[in-house]
Amino acid sequence: MNHGPHTLIVGAGAIGLLTALNLAEQGERVTLLDRQLAGREASWAGGGIVSPLYPWRYSAAVTALAHWSQDFYPRLGDELFVRTGLDPQVHVTGLYWLDLDDEAEALAWARREQRPLSAVSLEATYRQVPALAPGFERAIYMADVANVRNPRLVKSLKAALALLPNVTLREHCEVRGFLRNGDAVGGVDTAEGPLRADRVVLAAGAWSGQLLATLGLALPVEPVKGQMILYRCAEDFLSRMVLARGRYAIPRRDGHILVGSTLEHAGFDKTPTDEALHSLVASAEALLPALAKAERVGHWAGLRPGAPDGIPFIGPVGRHPGLWLNCGHYRNGLVLAPASCQLFTDLVAGRTPIIDPAPYAPDARLQVSPGPVS
């Protein structure tokens, strides 16, 4: 029944799920593995802004992926909703940046990249966002920025995969290492035993570096903790996303307001802290004072897969035939997922890729680990 190649994907976050969907749709048999429930790490914990927080501060490599994904997201949301009946809620609100130190650079970037970012008056800003705290002096606005309700995106992707006969999802299946035939990788070793495949894709987020170290390779991806809080407000409380002093507020369609986030190097510790909570509450109330009287309904932490300059690793690992990477998206996994997974699928299929794959190629950026191979 399933005659295509068999691909094992390690990690069932947004990147792994969408990679699986793309490969399955071109006829491959896909087995998706996750150490816990699908999509319960960074893909669940993040805010879901479909833009880097400060897009002009990133390299051309990140910008290329971000632009493609931003333009594609509404279509992806619609297609998943039609297929599954689960709406990822790709919500186009626009985004205000307030009192930026590098506003001139941001506007120059927008002109160069032909993105709809422009300076706006404070009067117009306060008309659109009356809940905004007084005292801000400058604002710039990008009208087409959306946010996606990431837990619902994950549920929708998972439901779409469940409809496909050539996809198997195995949750609570921890991968311990790789099966090798010489240098070639032909499967993975799991807590439930070995699993073999024609191709193995590492999409394990913050845990990707640990797994690749078992092959003696140093992947510069490390966990970077981020904490968020959630408020319940009236549906018309906030109509636009707003960002100031490194913190942002994101409105969902039903009135929930996300405020984030912290940036902490704390290893694999995901424990929410009182210190972060107090800092986030202070930022929330400084940005939107009425939140002081709103019901706070959530506080959580997640681990981003931190990579140098935020540039993900996408493509084959030359010294280990059969092993591919799609990981290391740092703060922009949800933003970059559609483009990253389309680029990955183009490379697997041997098609002309949507963008130049060279900046993401693993071989130029991986190093041999100084430690012994376990």
Same domain for 161 and 283, yes or no, is: no
What CATH number does the domain containing 292 carry?
A: 3.30.9.10
Same domain for 157 and 302, yes or no, is: no
| Boundary-marking domain end, from 274, 289, 306 | 306
Same domain for 134 and 161, yes or no, is: no
Same domain for 178 and 233, yes or no, is: no
- Name the band, by pLDDT with cuts 50, 70 and 90, for residue 297: very high
Average pLDDT over residues 293-302: 98
Convert the pLDDT of each residue in 310-346 to its tens digit. 999 999 999 999 999 999 999 999 999 999 999 999 9
Same domain for 139 and 232, yes or no, is: yes
Same domain for 204 and 335, yes or no, is: yes
Model pTM score: 0.96
For residue 335, give the amino acid letter.
V
Same domain for 139 and 228, yes or no, is: yes
| Boundary-marking domain end, from 306, 325, 346 | 306
| Domains contained in the chain, number | 2
What integer pLDDT is reported at residue 1 of this predicted model?
Answer: 45
- Is residue 31 over pLDDT 90? yes
CB contact at 8 A, 369 and 217: yes
What integer pLDDT is reported at residue 370 of this predicted model?
Answer: 62
What CATH number does the domain containing 205 carry?
A: 3.50.50.60
- Is residue 357 over pLDDT 50? yes
Same domain for 230 and 280, yes or no, is: yes
**What residues make up the domain containing 355?**
6-45+152-221+308-368
CA 320 to mean position of chain CA atoms:
26
Domain-located, residue 90: no
